[in-house]
Structure 1
Amino acid sequence: MATEPDFGDHLRVVSITKTASVFPKVVHPPKILSLSNLDRQCPVHMYLVFFYEHENNNLFVDRDSVFRGLKCGLEEALSVWYPAAGRLTLNPSDGNKLNLWCNNKGAILLEAETQVEISELGDLSQYNDFLEKLVYKPVFDGDFSQMPLVVAQVTKFGCGGYSIGIGISHSLFDGPAAYDFMCAWASNSAVIMKQHKALELPNKLPVHDRGTLLMGKFGHEAPKGVGAKLLQNGNDVVPSVLTRAAAVDHLYQLIMQAAAASGDQIKLDQIENNYVHKTFHLSGALIESLKREVFGGDMGGFSCSSFEVVAAHLWKAKTKALGARKETMVCLQFAVDARNKVEPSLPEGFSGNAYVLASVALTAGQVEQATHKAIVEKIREAKSSVTSNYVKAYMEAVAGPQTSLPPIKELTLISDWTRMPFHKVGFLQEAAAYASPLVSPIPQVAYFMQNPRDNRGIDMRVGLLPHYLSAFTRYFLTNK
């Protein structure tokens, strides 16, 4: 569930005024790029909308120059990030697995306009349905060869400001790679719009080959068999020479738990997909205050990151809000960058998907009774368990046919963007007023984003079922 801005229906219209195919300025010889199992998990587009408010700036006077600058900047970026101009393709000889056909087919860029003023959207950090009109969503008819991997829409608002809505196939880039790609595009566009003659060369060139992450190319084989899990008798970590992907094991257990459950409320939770998406602002000072509150005045020599304390706090608040039976299994999962976890490490500038999920599983009663410090320690144990063997086991576990994840209320899933300050991507100005993600294929995911006004703060966007929102808000904001 989302809200619409409060203005008349006649003002909701966003009109497309121009559509262009954008090709690399430098054409690369066509080739097939093998994808890893991590790339194949989610071939859909992920969308992000940047807002640039009107200022006394010539860039905002001439709409044609904005479109032309973005188009030329994208042409330059695609010359280096050439897979983004390609298409996905199915390999019949390998079970119809997805690979990337680097064929220079190009990206799609649209120009649009609306009478709406950016100020009418209210708090830009809060999701509303109108944001869906600010991105281009190509129709997928099952033919990957016709689906552009990068799409963008630049929309001029009635106030003179702009939004830039960008969609990128998740099979192409993960978060850090998408951030680097957008920074390169924005840098080239800004130079062109300011009529500078020389383009800036990238500090590091992207590496598109998946290399180590292709199955069979790990430095050593991961042992097979039942191995260490982060849930043993609901609590302890058990060392083992054998490795399994705890995140996949725990997810399977959650699905089996949901299937075995009975009762009208549980059935309702499994079917309902009408999520509320709400952003909570946590300033750097508030996060430090939370650390002192939950760990004691001097924290007893215990230190933790902002991610760790907010993740622990989120999990406790959500578990309390669910009101699940104390013996019910609940799970916290979060993405871990595997670039330096695999052996050999991935090269600097690696552009593919390199994140796997780490996982902590406890009973609802244990989460409610546990201190924040105990949960932080569990989070650290889960993160440290992500080794080269874990990554290989994870990739083997996700090798099968991809299916959509059913809504599981006992799963808390976090995507940490705090090291990717998307709002600083300067397409039209040095920084956007806000960069807002649209709803992901997993609507309950919680995004941790850097607060544009406080780089030590965190904006947490989370998807919740409506009947849990009030309780979650109370527990999250009061820590009681």
Structure 2
Amino acid sequence: MLKSAEELPDCFYYHNQPTLIPPHTPTPTHFLYLSNLDDQKFLRFSIKYLYLFRKSVSSDLLKLSLSRVLVDYYPLAGRLTTNSLNDNHKLLVDCNGQGAVFAEAFMDTTAHELLEFARRPSRSLRKLLYRVEAHSFLDIPPLVVQVTNLSCGGMILCTAINHCLCDGIGTSQFLHAWAHMTTKPNHDLPIAPFHCRHVLRPRDPPMTNYVHPGYTRNTLRDSNNIIKQYLESQPLVPSSITFTPPHILHLKRQCVPSLKCTTFETLATHAWRSWVRSLDLSPSLTVKLLFSVNVRQKLKPEMPEGYYGNGFVLGCAESSVKELLSSNLHYGVKLVQQAKSKLTDDYLRSMIDLLEDQTVITDIGSSLVISQWAKLGLEELDFGEGKPLHMGSLTTDIYCLFLPVAGNFDAVRVVVSVPESVVQKFEYFMNESVLESEDDDDKNLDAHAVV
């Protein structure tokens, strides 16, 4: 039983140490080159997913299917290393077949209780993923899995997948391949993974033909670091707000004069403005919105089907605080659209070339960074006992996430951590549109009632 709304009970591990799951059959042994998009400092962490299922799947079956899918996705069974032939610490994958980490546990609670608990992010959820003791990021295996069985017969599946090997599309592709191998072990994968990252090699010599505002030099002299310093000065509190189609439509109606805009463009702008408003920043400061954009079809030639490495870049919209907050939603949405329109093949090649300079880093010091997980099919994962009751992120410390809502394809859950002192203000600003749209619905109902 859950004792309180703040803390999960501890997991009981079936074994003191997890097992290593190597590929089922021998796989190629070589060093896998990682592109400049893979080898970015701000991606040196693992993407941690949490799935809650009503019915459990045999751990033995999951381990067997994992070993089989790792034959196809063999780099995930390897280990990260650096290129010893140069001094730039370029990351590589040592494809040595060492294996993925697989932990098994039990928790004395039910799927229903966990579903209620997981609706709001909590640091306590970290108990659901085995913590690998490591001296550095390089020492953590690229794939860590924990299966936790529940007292009701349900199951939690948590995965940590190294972001330098996969982006969101790639992780979804891998997880669906694993599920496919679990339910249809005698069938080929619907999408074969494409391993080679050389399609994103920089030009020789590198040519940076554009200004790339999403990046900065590795220096502390930028005045906008005041934002970063403020965010790091106090504990961050996770916040979660769900937007249903009526809420999103209400936001889009604020984009006047008439403006065609996507759900992502609208929600991203709304989250950005709410974040800036809650931080009470100086009107003269420049703030940025960095948001993930899939570029698999934007590069020429297009990247091959099955490419599971990092095939995204961060689009960058920027504005002064004063202009962003004094204008309506239309202004911010236009900035997002203009940032997307810049991402031509030549612009993207220039960005890849820029990253050859090891002093160039992503400008997260003055930015809200949004990662789009809502349309990747992550909530459709099925290992044979049905789709998840809940899909989310295990941690929310790093970026703002747009998550899918199980059972409601058109809804989006926005999760972001903000300073403890402003979390109420941020949620108020984010929820304004929700409350206004509900008021409009009530007025419409009253009008129909009068008629």
Report the TM-score when normalising by structure 2. 0.87
Are residue 79 (structure 1) and residue 71 (structure 2) matched? yes
Residue ranges of structure 2 left out of the alignment (5+ in a row): 437-451
Is the CA contact 2:290–2:367 (under 8 Å) kept in the aligned structure 1? yes
Q: Whole-Å Cα distance in 1 between the matches of residues 22 and 199 of structure 2?
A: 30
SS at match of 2:47: strand
Q: Whole-Å Cα distance in 1 between the matches of residues 123 and 149 of structure 2?
A: 18
Q: Whole-Å Cα distance in 1 between the matches of residues 94 and 353 of structure 2?
A: 23
Deviates more, 1:359-368 or 1:28-37: 28-37
Aligned pairs for 1:125-136 within 5 A: 125-136=119-130
Report the alpha carbon displacement of residue 124 of structure 1 after superposing the two structures with TM: 2.1
Paired residue for 1:256? 222
Is the CA contact 1:245–1:391 (under 8 Å) kept in the aligned structure 2? no
Paired residue for 2:106? 113
Aligned pairs for 1:21-36 within 5 A: 21-36=20-35
| Percent identical residues | 23
Aligned pairs for 1:422-437 within 5 A: 422-437=378-393
Deviates more, 1:18-27 or 1:148-157: 18-27
Paired residue for 1:13? 10
In structure 2, do the counterparts of structure 1 residues 446 and 74 end up closer, same or farther at CA, with 3 Å as the change threshold?
Answer: same
Paired residue for 2:52? 51
In structure 2, do the counterparts of structure 1 residues 207 and 178 end up closer, same or farther at CA, with 3 Å as the change threshold?
Answer: same
Q: Whole-Å Cα distance in 1 between the matches of residues 247 and 223 of structure 2?
A: 36
In structure 2, do the counterparts of structure 1 residues 5 and 272 end up closer, same or farther at CA, with 3 Å as the change threshold?
Answer: farther
Deviates more, 1:86-95 or 1:163-172: 86-95
Aligned pairs for 1:239-254 within 5 A: 242-249=209-216
Is the CA contact 2:203–2:353 (under 8 Å) kept in the aligned structure 1? no
Report the alpha carbon displacement of residue 407 of structure 1 after superposing the two structures with TM: 7.3
Matched to 1:31, the amino acid is H
Paired residue for 1:287? 248
Q: Whole-Å Cα distance in 2 between the matches of residues 363 and 356 of structure 1?
A: 23
Report the alpha carbon displacement of residue 424 of structure 1 after superposing the two structures with TM: 1.3
In structure 2, do the counterparts of structure 1 residues 7 and 257 end up closer, same or farther at CA, with 3 Å as the change threshold?
Answer: closer
SS at match of 1:375: helix
Report the TM-score when normalising by structure 1. 0.82
Are residue 216 (structure 1) and residue 215 (structure 2) matched? no
Is the CA contact 1:134–1:153 (under 8 Å) kept in the aligned structure 2? yes
Deviates more, 1:29-38 or 1:269-278: 269-278
Q: What are the superposed Cα offsets for residues 433-470 of structure 1, whole Å, 9 maximum, x if unpaired?
A: 11121225xx2511112221321111111111111111
In structure 2, do the counterparts of structure 1 residues 89 and 254 end up closer, same or farther at CA, with 3 Å as the change threshold?
Answer: closer
In structure 2, do the counterparts of structure 1 residues 38 and 404 end up closer, same or farther at CA, with 3 Å as the change threshold?
Answer: closer
Is the CA contact 2:6–2:122 (under 8 Å) kept in the aligned structure 1? no
Is the CA contact 2:372–2:402 (under 8 Å) kept in the aligned structure 1? yes
Q: Whole-Å Cα distance in 2 between the matches of residues 393 and 100 of structure 1?
A: 25
Paired residue for 1:140? 134
Superposed CA RMSD in Å reads 2.7
Paired residue for 2:442? none
Q: Whole-Å Cα distance in 2 between the matches of residues 30 and 139 of structure 1?
A: 26
Paired residue for 1:183? 176
Q: What are the superposed Cα offsets for residues 274-302 of structure 1, whole Å, 9 maximum, x if unpaired?
A: 2111111101122112212x036xx73x3
Is the CA contact 1:24–1:78 (under 8 Å) kept in the aligned structure 2? yes
Aligned length: 427
Paired residue for 1:235? none
Is the CA contact 2:354–2:360 (under 8 Å) kept in the aligned structure 1? no
Residue ranges of structure 1 left out of the alignment (5+ in a row): 55-59, 192-197, 225-241
Q: What are the superposed Cα offsets for residues 222-266 of structure 1, whole Å, 9 maximum, x if unpaired?
A: 744xxxxxxxxxxxxxxxxx41222114x879970145x5xxxx7
Report the alpha carbon displacement of residue 387 of structure 1 after superposing the two structures with TM: 2.2
Q: Whole-Å Cα distance in 1 between the matches of residues 161 and 409 of structure 2?
A: 25
Q: Whole-Å Cα distance in 2 between the matches of residues 7 and 187 of structure 1?
A: 35
